[in-house]
């Protein structure tokens, strides 16, 4: 199972938490959790972006 599949599984199981910072950023963009969940569950990785100290960034 790849990392995207693992993340999708966590969403289906509701086994994740959204940080206060993530909520702030979503609010700035007019998004709510369901918007992010739907993007992850139905999206495809369009491009792997440069790996950073925090891990691998992906554009969905």
CB 40 within 8 A of CB 60: yes
For residue 49, what are its two tokens?
Answer: 């972006």
Average pLDDT on 17-27 reads 94
CB 32 within 8 A of CB 26: yes
Least confident stretch, 13-17, 24-28, 39-43, 56-60: 56-60
Task: Please write the tens of the pLDDT for every residue from 31-49.
Answer: 999 999 999 999 876 665 5
- Going by pLDDT thresholds of 50, 70 and 90, the confidence category of residue 1 is confident
pTM for this model (two decimals): 0.68
């Amino acid at each position: 199972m790849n990392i995207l599949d693992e993340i999708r599984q966590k969403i289906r199981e509701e086994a994740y938490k959204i940080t206060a910072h993530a909520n702030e950023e979503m609010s700035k963009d007019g998004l709510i959790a369901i918007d992010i969940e739907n993007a992850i569950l139905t999206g495809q990785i369009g491009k792997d972006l440069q790996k950073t100290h925090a891990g691998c960034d992906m554009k969905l």
